[in-house]
Chain A
Amino acid sequence: MNFDFSDDQKQLRDQARKFLAEKCPPKAVRVVLDGQAPYDRALWKGFAEMGFLGVAIPEEYGGAGAGHLELCVIAEEVGRALAPVPFSSTVYLAAEALMLAGSDAQKQAWLPKIASGEAIGTLALFEGTGNPSPKAIKVEAANGVLNGTKKPVADGAIADLIIVAARTGSTGRDSDISLFLVDAKAGGVEAKALTNLDPTRGQAELTFKNCKAEPLGAAGEGWSILTEVLDRAAVLTAFEQVGGSDRALEMGRDYALDRIAFGRPIGSFQAVKHMLADMYVSATLARSNSYYGAWALSTNAPELPEAAASARISATQAFQHCSKNNIQVHGGMGFTWEFDCHMYYRRANALALGLGSLSYWEDQLIDRMRKRNAA
């Protein structure tokens, strides 16, 4: 047994952290936050050059073929630095869906472009309020074309490749749903950028009007593929959340050591110490659950669905908890635009929603635990 990342993986983490510290300081994040660019193009190019985009993509499709543990390590650093790039939508969602369900031709067409940073990808799943469910999908696919509207779609306005969940049946079963692949440049899709809670990552409304689409995976298999894509993305996102939690904790700790009140560093007051200790506890539990998810993801273990839901819930709670209390430790300063606290708070609350909210994942976890207990 060895429940830790290897030395090589830790080295990759250090490398990614160093790169991001240099290329993605808070002021770079703020350029996107302030709306001066939809994402950090230079950083994205750097990601491609460093090999971060294709780390889990097999070599035959232009990637490094290293694996998902390596991707987890990078995701953690992306979360720590709040990197304002379409990493999660491209790598965790589009690339994973292609690797899971794509034909060889589809993989050949798109995975090398993703690995090289040439193509941004996303998954168009949601249609307004509510959690992932086959019944909520109204966008229709018939005769090779899509019609309907998706929102919100993460990075939808800048995506080149869109994976769309669409309705191909009306039996009321999961098998009504199929997945499609859309080349955004081929026409038939209209994108509108939407204002959102965390402007460092864009959200869009996509309207498909007789948009040409090719099937991804077998007809009627869409929902089961989607569930697996969401599980995989949940583990990877959990690492972003763990990275963000740790950084928020560090910011709070550093401030508590520097800031003097009543003649003492505020970090010497038990009320503040205990708040920071509780942040450490939630970040640690999330990290451990995420490691378990990483193991299940990298080995494709039957435990993956349960591990993914645990990692997702635990990391969502931790990042919300740490980013919220980081502001509290900072007091009034934490509430200002100038301090970086709100950027973590925004990201935490946006990440909490992107793959379906907590209630969706709680449902998933309980169902999966019941299934295991019944087995």
Chain B
Amino acid sequence: MNFDDTPQEAAFRSQARTWIAANAPKQYEDELRATSLGRVGLKNADILQVAKAWQKKKAEAGWACLHWPKEYGGRGSSPIERVIWQQEEGPFGKLSGMFIIGHGMCGPTMMAYASEEHKRQYLPPLASGEKVWCQLFSEPAGGSDVAGLRTRAEKRGEDWVINGQKIWTSGAHYSDYGILLTRTDPTVPKHKGLTMFFLDMKSPGVDIRPIKQASGHSDFNEVYFTDVVIPDSQRLGTVNDGWNVALTTLMNERMSIGAGVATGVPELFDFCSNLMLDDRPAIEDRNVRSRLASWAVRASGLKYTSIRAISALSKGERPGPENSIGKLVAGPMIQDVAAYALDLQGAAGVLSGPEAELAGKFQAMLLRAPGTRVEGGTDEIMRNIIAERVLGLPGDIRVDKDLPFNQVPTKGRN
């Protein structure tokens, strides 16, 4: 058991460090470092442009999409090299936020199902950040129940015609392409009538409407499809096998594990060290210490759980359902940590704006956290995954499992 770099890893680290020191956009370092969950953005620059420029620089020097094969714009690195890169990239890694879905989910799905020609055409500009991708799965009628989606794809000659609506599509408003899960046969049970495509988000008939979130920001969108035409060559996988393609995408979501999931704990620790409570630093208060210690061990537990997972990956094991633990622990924790930081400020915790920077920071966390607990699977779905796939408990009873999709009830009460 050790944390030491092998000579090879040490060489990689030093190469990465040197390159980052010479090339990173240092003018944004402090601002990025201070950025916490729910507050992505730069005061005096367009973050998308800054992110794209940094990604392009990385791609040109061979530091983009480390785990991807070289021919598609990656570097062919090991899982441990990815972690080393993350450690060295530090706050500049936050700039990759808008590429996560493309790099972690869309790219790997393309690699598994697209034609060689399409892979060579679409993957390198995705790796370099020149083109941004989004993932069009969720619908108003199918959130946790993804396979309950209703967006239709109908074959017309060599093309498919898409009609319907997606929701919660992160980054659709600045995306160039998307992967899209549709229903191609409503007369069979829900998992059996789905088909996956990729499409140009600028296609006629695609209407993207940002959703204003509880935080006031707009990171997600509704996406409407009206007679959108997709050539059959952009189908991923066989017709009606979309569920298996989607599973590949979701499996790859688990691959995007790293050792640095946000928990809010370092922020709370700093805050409690500086806040005066009854004429002494809050961190000297017995109750504060107790709460802080409990969260701190959850955060360190998560950190070392992901390092264990990376060790397993580097020995050739596949990432398993146990990796659902990260989001399940971190999501509720950020929410509770933020609420506690506000509570410690008393009535003043309610204020934000320039005179109340600190409260504002935790308010942003508080308002973003519910989304963290829902996106990519709710807490309840994560618990089901652990219970069923790790502990081997029986699956939930799914009464619509064998029912043709067009006979599935759509309302709880008549």
Contact = CB atoms under 8 A, between A and B. Distances in A.
Contact of B308 (A3, A310, A313, A314): A3
A309 B286 CA distance: 16
Interface stretch (A45-53, A170-178, A290-298): A290-298
Interface stretch (B233-241, B363-371, B384-392): B384-392
Contacts of B2: 1-3, 295, 299
Contacts of A313: 293-294, 297
Residue in B303, B380, B383 with the greatest tally of chain A CB atoms within 10 Å: B383
B305 A295 contact: no
B312 A359 contact: no
Contacts of B328: 277, 281
Contacts of A298: 1
A103 interface: no
B297 A1 contact: no
Contacts of A273: 383-384, 387-388, 391, 393
Nearest to B284: A366
Contact of B325 (A281, A289, A309): A281
A162 B373 CA distance: 52
A277 B297 contact: no
B294 A1 contact: no
A363 interface: yes
A369 B269 contact: yes
B3 A366 contact: no
A366 B322 CA distance: 29
Interface in B1-41: 1-6, 9
B329 A4 contact: no
B329 A281 contact: yes
B306 to A, nearest CB: 8
A267 B5 CA distance: 43
B305 A288 contact: yes
A95 interface: no
Contacts of B391: 249, 253, 273, 276-277, 280
A18 interface: no
A352 to B, nearest CB: 14
Contact of A267 (B297, B311, B394): B394
Given A268-B394, A273-B383, A277-B391, A4 B1 contact: yes
A274 interface: yes
Contacts of A370: 273, 283
Interface in A290-328: 291-292, 294-295, 298-299, 309-310, 313-314, 317
Interface in B262-289: 269-270, 273, 283, 286, 289
Given A270-B396, A277-B383, A284 B305 contact: yes
Contact of B300 (A3, A278, A289, A373): A289
B307 interface: yes
B298 interface: yes
B297 A310 contact: yes
Contact of A274 (B5, B311, B329, B387): B387
A194 interface: no
B290 interface: yes
A268 B9 contact: no
Contacts of B273: 370, 373
Interface in B391-411: 391-397
A2 B1 contact: yes
Contact of B393 (A1, A268, A288, A365): A268
A80 B116 CA distance: 52
A363 B289 contact: yes
Interface string B296-340: 111011111101101110100000001001001100000000000
A82 interface: no
Nearest to B393: A267
Given A1-B311, A267-B394, A366-B283, A288 B387 contact: no
A267 B396 CA distance: 10
A274 B378 CA distance: 13
Contacts of A35: none
Contacts of B286: 359
Residue in A309, A314, A373 with the greatest tally of chain B CB atoms within 10 Å: A314
B80 A288 contact: no
Residue in B83, B269, B301, B396 with the greatest tally of chain A CB atoms within 10 Å: B301
Contacts of A299: 2
Nearest to A301: B3
B322 A284 contact: yes
Contacts of B311: 1-4
B308 A268 contact: no
A286 B328 CA distance: 15
Contacts of A286: 301
Contacts of A226: none
A121 to B, nearest CB: 27
Contacts of B245: none
Contacts of A267: 387, 393-394
B292 A366 contact: yes
Contacts of A277: 328, 382-384, 386-387, 391
Interface string A342-375: 0000000000000000110111011001100100
A304 to B, nearest CB: 14
Nearest to B281: A370
B304 A288 contact: yes
Nearest to B304: A288
Contacts of A264: 394, 397
B394 A310 contact: no
Nearest to B2: A2
B393 A292 contact: no
Contacts of A1: 2-6, 9, 80, 83, 307, 310-311, 314
Contacts of A281: 325, 328-329, 386
Contact of B293 (A270, A274, A276, A362): A362
A74 interface: no
A373 B397 CA distance: 50
B385 to A, nearest CB: 8
A313 B83 CA distance: 27
Contacts of A2: 1-2, 311, 314
Contacts of A369: 269, 296
The 8 A-B residue pairs with the shortest CB-CB distance in the complex, in nearest-first order: A285-B301, A273-B387, A288-B304, A362-B293, A268-B394, A277-B383, A277-B386, A314-B297
28 contacts: A1-B5, A1-B6, A1-B307, A3-B308, A3-B310, A4-B312, A5-B1, A6-B1, A268-B397, A270-B384, A272-B393, A274-B384, A277-B328, A277-B383, A278-B383, A280-B325, A284-B305, A284-B322, A285-B297, A285-B305, A285-B325, A288-B302, A289-B301, A291-B1, A310-B296, A314-B301, A366-B292, A370-B273
Given A285-B325, A288-B307, 5 more contacts: A1-B6, A273-B384, A276-B393, A277-B382, A288-B305
Interface of B: 1-6, 9, 80, 83, 269-270, 273, 283, 286, 289-290, 292-294, 296-298, 300-305, 307-308, 310-312, 314, 322, 325, 328-329, 380, 382-384, 386-388, 390-397
